[in-house]
Amino acid sequence: MNNYSYISHLECPKCGEIYKGDHIYQLCKCGSPLLVRYDLEKVKENVSREEIANRTNSLWRYHELLPIQQQKNVVTLGEGMTPFEKLPSLGAEFGLNHLYIKDEGVIPTGSFKTRGASVGISKAKELGVKHLAMPTNGNAGAAWALYAAKADIKATIVMPLDAPQITRKEVYIAGGNLHLIDGLISDAGKVVSSLVQNYGVYDASTLKEPYRIEGKKTMGYEIVEQFGWKVPDVILYPTGGGVGIIGIYKALLELQQLGWIEDKKLPRLVAVQAEGCAPIVEAWNKGEIESKFFENSTTCAFGINVPKAIGDFLVLKGIYDTEGCAIAISEEEILRTQKLIASLEGNFVCPEGAATFAAARILHEQGWIDANEHVVCLNTGSGLKYPETVVIEGVETIKPGQEILLNI
Amino acid sequence: MNNYSYISHLECPKCGEIYKGDHIYQLCKCGSPLLVRYDLEKVKENVSREEIANRTNSLWRYHELLPIQQQKNVVTLGEGMTPFEKLPSLGAEFGLNHLYIKDEGVIPTGSFKTRGASVGISKAKELGVKHLAMPTNGNAGAAWALYAAKADIKATIVMPLDAPQITRKEVYIAGGNLHLIDGLISDAGKVVSSLVQNYGVYDASTLKEPYRIEGKKTMGYEIVEQFGWKVPDVILYPTGGGVGIIGIYKALLELQQLGWIEDKKLPRLVAVQAEGCAPIVEAWNKGEIESKFFENSTTCAFGINVPKAIGDFLVLKGIYDTEGCAIAISEEEILRTQKLIASLEGNFVCPEGAATFAAARILHEQGWIDANEHVVCLNTGSGLKYPETVVIEGVETIKPGQEILLNI
């Protein structure tokens, strides 16, 4: 073992089965996703928070806590350490005195999916993968196709016709093997399963390889580091496949074990969904530990249009364990909030991100979030990828030489 | 004077006139843009490179060398310290052993214009500006409208109808006063001039306020810092209004004066233009010190469709002084190179950025760049803002349940 990574093994969170970290594994024999475990005692002995603070300005600053064993296998476009900023004007509007954005729009490929792609592709390269396949709601496929291109791995991407248009162009320009499907991500998932069975390609579907989550957990590390190695009171996350929230929860537990955060109480994790696709919210409302397939799902926040997530039980566990909650937001509220954020704070967020801010406002109004709590909303991507969410009205075109009248 | 900024005064690079740094000035009486000067001796005494290395991960780490006097006036979305990465595969393809990208797509609002907007708007706020107006080829207007929204400054933005569609949506969602014009940026400039005259609004046109360039020069600081406080041999920049290249040149001279770079020889600066709009290239070819209006200009790299830049003489001076050059790239070559970069390195660059890589290849083939020189190409924005540059061909839509055949 070198000390670039302190990966120890893979573990099934359902049945407890253990697997080695240097072979290709997908799901556990029992059907559950696998989680990566590290020798945290060794990390504690060999790495300090101060050392990390002086390192490269990307998620690779946490390399001991990532699964790549040889640095030469790292596939990077400089991703991570995204902005973490206080939003005083929006906070005042909402009655929240300590409202923050973690802005995952400011990252290569323009969405948080990049983290999973960078770590997932790096590990795939290390494991000798030559061809992978994945279903996607757009952003993940775009990120994986671009990183796969850099790693010289073939990528077959199956994407709903309704996914954001720009994401299919990202796959295409990367030279990915792009397929559009007239259906949902669950339909795309079935196509990919059959490719995996028929051709033996690597299954890069959400949580069917154990490494994507390791990339996404770095959002949790960064929030804590950027917050001065403390934890906020509440973290709100837009939840589709749920890997983001699972990853952040995993990161917080690891940081506790490392003694890098002193807080005994973890942030309350909030899964934010759209009213048009709210399987986790329905399960949470009923106190259940798994979700049911959400029929006829639809939302402009396309990234969270996931009717049944394979990791739903892990998302729900994270919420219950931290005394968090789940909440669904209407389409109208998502778009209204997106505009409010841009006009008050200058952040052009994606609709999924806008939903978390709407949720913060509503939960404060309901008394679930106190005015003085420290609240972090995850914006998972750039509004640039969702041009259709902005409809311009009342703007006229002028001719050269024509004058404008100002109302001042 | 506090020590957040060591700004000293404004200076005219043409006639030498001096102005104070704490009043609103636009152009010099002689018609030239003004440049900001600092007390570099005091900076040298009070700040070290090591201190800067430990600071915030944004362009504000260089605050002593920026014109904002009170930190409370800083308007930030976490911009700067963008990725600087070696591109080994593309380098091998081109025969260049040390090819680097400075990736300005990974920044709030998705283009390098954000740097100018952050510093320009911060200073406008400090100077008490309430309403500004600017002509734009899209990205600058988008950035200024979003930062103006955050600073609670009204922004009137005049943009050609042909500018990237997403940029008008950014202005709109920010609540900016958007006007589209059926013409070029030069036509938009005339409209803005008349607004400035009729209403006394602040003129935020390129180089008509002295602070935008201060934001953009930070690209120069970052390249040097990320390169280990050394300078590369060649920097290639896509050149429209030219503020980027002027800013980088200014930054290099300041770093030399500070003694923060030991190299006596500065990088050769290359202005890259499109064949459809190449006024600087024409002037350089003739050895002239100013450019002529380029008639009927057109290019898909819309950001560099500037037929006559007000700072052309400063761009040309930067090129001559550093023994650089100017080169024009065809539309076909721009788009071919954009695809090549994505498929080899995973970077989805904008067409303006792609042009600089094409230029590096051609200049190497011509013997102007040696295979072992360290070459930095500036990608000025994200490909996400230019969806029309990617035309998808040969992708069929499948139905749920339909199988895919792989050729492996």
- Give B46-70 pLDDT, tens digit per residue: 999 999 998 999 999 999 999 999 9
Residue A198 pLDDT level (bands cut at 50, 70, 90): very high
Tokens, residue B153 = 């400054």
Q: What is the DSSP string of A90-155?
A: HHHHHT-SEEEEEETTSSGGGBTHHHHHHHHHHHHHHTT--EEEEE-SSHHHHHHHHHHHHHT-EE
How far is residue B98's CA from residue B231's CA, in Å, rounded to a whole number?
13
Which of B85, B384, B397 lies closest to A180 in CB terms?
A: B397
- One-letter amino acid at A271 equals A
Q: How many CB pairs under 8 A join A and B?
A: 249
Which of A182, A338, A396 lies closest to B397 in CB terms?
A: A182
Answer yes or no: do A108 and B105 touch at CB < 8 A. Answer: yes
A71 touches chain B (CB under 8 A): no
- Nearest chain B Cα distance for residue A288, angstroms: 30
pLDDT for B115 equals: 98
- The answer to whether the CB of B125 falls within 8 A of the CB of B148 is no
pLDDT for A12 equals: 96
| Nearest chain B residue to A187, by CA | B400
- Nearest chain B Cα distance for residue A368, angstroms: 28
Answer yes or no: do B75 and A146 touch at CB < 8 A. Answer: no
B403 touches chain A (CB under 8 A): yes
Answer yes or no: do B173 and A387 touch at CB < 8 A. Answer: no
Place of tokens 């986790």: A280
Residue B198 pLDDT level (bands cut at 50, 70, 90): very high
Residue A300 vs residues A303, A338, B298: alpha-carbon distances, Å: 9, 12, 35
Chain A residues with CB under 8 Å of B129 CB are none
Answer yes or no: do A180 and B396 touch at CB < 8 A. Answer: yes
| Nearest chain B residue to A154, by CA | B408
pLDDT at B131 over 90: yes
| Nearest chain B residue to A81, by CA | B57
pLDDT at A2 over 90: no
- Nearest chain B Cα distance for residue A190, angstroms: 7
Chain B residues with CB under 8 Å of A397 CB are 161, 180-182
- Nearest chain A Cα distance for residue B321, angstroms: 32
Q: Which residues contact B50 (CB under 8 A, 6 or more apart)?
A: none
Answer yes or no: do A103 and B105 touch at CB < 8 A. Answer: no
How far is residue A225's CA from residue A219's CA, in Å, rounded to a whole number?
10
pLDDT at B262 over 90: no
Chain B residues with CB under 8 Å of A81 CB are 57
Per-residue pLDDT, averaged over A266-285, amounts to: 98
Tokens, residue A349 = 């967020």
Element (H, E) at A363: helix A351-365
How far is residue B323's CA from residue A386's CA, in Å, rounded to a whole number?
43
Element (H, E) at A52: helix A49-53
pLDDT for A264 equals: 85
B103 touches chain A (CB under 8 A): yes
All domains of chain B in start order, with CATH = 84-110+211-388 (3.40.50.1100)
Share of chain A above pLDDT 90, in %: 96
CB atoms within 10 A of CB A131: 18
Per-residue pLDDT, averaged over A186-215, amounts to: 96
Residue A263 pLDDT level (bands cut at 50, 70, 90): confident
pLDDT for A385 equals: 97
Answer yes or no: do A150 and B384 touch at CB < 8 A. Answer: no
Chain B residues with CB under 8 Å of A161 CB are 397
pLDDT at B1 over 60: no
How far is residue A280's CA from residue A273's CA, in Å, rounded to a whole number?
8
Share of chain B above pLDDT 70, in %: 100
Element (H, E) at A268: strand A268-274
A111 touches chain B (CB under 8 A): no
How far is residue B326's CA from residue B328's CA, in Å, rounded to a whole number?
7
Interface-testing mutation among B166, B388, B391, with chain A (most A C-beta atoms within 10 A): B166
B177 touches chain A (CB under 8 A): yes
- One-letter amino acid at B337 equals T
pLDDT at A52 over 90: yes
Chain B residues with CB under 8 Å of A395 CB are 168, 172, 178-180
A66 touches chain B (CB under 8 A): no
CA nearest B157: which of A201, A398, A315?
A398
Chain A residues with CB under 8 Å of B54 CB are 53-54
Share of chain B above pLDDT 90, in %: 96
Residues 117-146 of B with CB under 8 A from A: 131, 146
Neighbouring C-alpha atoms within 13 Å toward the C-beta of A199: 19
pLDDT at B408 over 80: no
Q: Which residues contact B377 (CB under 8 A, 6 or more apart)?
A: B99, B100, B101, B102, B236, B353, B356, B357, B359, B360
- The answer to whether the CB of A244 falls within 8 A of the CB of A303 is no
User: What are the tens digits of pLDDT across the range A382-399?
Assistant: 999 999 999 999 998 999
| Nearest chain B residue to A109, by CA | B348
Helices (H), A180-307: 185-199, 212-226, 243-258, 279-285
Q: Give per-residue burial for A305-316: e unless 16+ CB within 10 Å, then b.
A: bbbbbbbbbbbb
Q: Does residue A22 sit in helix, strand or coil?
A: coil
Q: Which residues contact B36 (CB under 8 A, 6 or more apart)?
A: B7, B10, B11, B21, B67, B210, B211, B213, B214
Q: At what angle do helices B165-173 and A331-345 cross, to 10 degrees?
A: 80
Q: Across chain A, which distance is largest between two alpha carbons, in Å?
A: 74
Per-residue pLDDT, averaged over B143-153, amounts to: 98
Q: Which residues contact A338 (CB under 8 A, 6 or more apart)?
A: A349, A350, A351, A353, A354, A383, A389, B173
| Nearest chain A residue to B104, by CA | A108
Q: Give per-residue burial for A207-239: e unless 16+ CB within 10 Å, then b.
A: bbbbbbbbbbbbbbbbbbbbbeeebbbbbbbbb
Which of B110, B345, B408 lies closest to A382 in CB terms?
A: B110
- Nearest chain A Cα distance for residue B405, angstroms: 8
Residue B11 pLDDT level (bands cut at 50, 70, 90): very high
| Nearest chain A residue to B338, by CA | A173
pLDDT for A288 equals: 98
Read off φ and ψ for residue A35, nearest 5 degrees: -115, 145
Interface-testing mutation among B77, B104, B195, with chain A (most A C-beta atoms within 10 A): B77
How far is residue B277's CA from residue B239's CA, in Å, rounded to a whole number?
10
H/E/C letters for each residue in chain B? CCCCCCEEEEECCCCCCEECCCCCCCCCCCCCCCEEEECHHHHHHHCCHHHHHCCCCCHHHHHHHCCCCCHHHCCCCCCCCCCEEECHHHHHHHCCCEEEEEECCCCHHHECHHHHHHHHHHHHHHCCCCEEEEECCCHHHHHHHHHHHHHCCEEEEEEECCCCHHHHHHHHHCCCEEEEECCCHHHHHHHHHHHHHHHCCEECCCCCCCCHHHHHHHHHHHHHHHCCCCCCCEEEEECCCCHHHHHHHHHHHHHHHHCCCCCCCCCEEEEEEECCECHHHHHHHCCCCCCCCCCCCCCCCHHHCCCCCCCHHHHHHHHHHCCCEEEEECHHHHHHHHHHHHHHHCCCECHHHHHHHHHHHHHHHCCCCCCCCEEEEEECEEHHHCHHHCCCCCCCEECCCCCCCCCC
CB atoms within 10 A of CB B39: 16
CA nearest B211: which of B134, B101, B322?
B134
Residue B160 pLDDT level (bands cut at 50, 70, 90): very high
pLDDT at A1 over 70: no
Number of helices (H) and strands (E), helices first, in chain A? 13, 14
Answer yes or no: do A57 and B81 touch at CB < 8 A. Answer: yes
Q: How far is CA B131 from the centre of its chain?
A: 23
Answer yes or no: do B75 and A396 touch at CB < 8 A. Answer: no
Answer yes or no: do B392 and A178 touch at CB < 8 A. Answer: yes
Answer yes or no: do B78 and A342 touch at CB < 8 A. Answer: no
How far is residue A98's CA from residue A88's CA, in Å, rounded to a whole number?
7
Place of tokens 């990049």: A114
pLDDT for B236 equals: 98
Answer yes or no: do A342 and B173 touch at CB < 8 A. Answer: yes
Q: Give per-residue burial for A373-395: e unless 16+ CB within 10 Å, then b.
A: bbbbbbbbbbbbbbbebbeeeee
pLDDT at B225 over 80: yes
Q: How far is CA A88 from the centre of its chain?
A: 25
Answer yes or no: do B398 and A156 touch at CB < 8 A. Answer: no
B163 touches chain A (CB under 8 A): no
Read off φ and ψ for residue B100, nearest 5 degrees: -125, 150
Strands B374-379 and B325-329: unpaired
Chain A residues with CB under 8 Å of B191 CB are 398, 402-404
Read off φ and ψ for residue B36, nearest 5 degrees: -85, 135
Q: Does residue A301 sit in helix, strand or coil?
A: coil
Residue B264 pLDDT level (bands cut at 50, 70, 90): confident
CA nearest A307: which of A245, A388, A242, A214?
A242
Interface-testing mutation among A343, A379, A393, with chain B (most B C-beta atoms within 10 A): A343
Residue A378 vs residues A111, A282, A381, B318: alpha-carbon distances, Å: 11, 22, 9, 42
User: What are the tens digits of pLDDT across the range A334-393?
Assistant: 999 999 999 999 999 999 999 999 999 999 999 999 999 999 999 999 999 999 999 999
Chain B residues with CB under 8 Å of A198 CB are 403, 406
Q: How far is CA A15 from the centre of its chain?
A: 26
Q: Give per-residue burial for B130-145: e unless 16+ CB within 10 Å, then b.
A: ebbbbbbbbbbbbbbb
Answer yes or no: do A400 and B106 touch at CB < 8 A. Answer: no
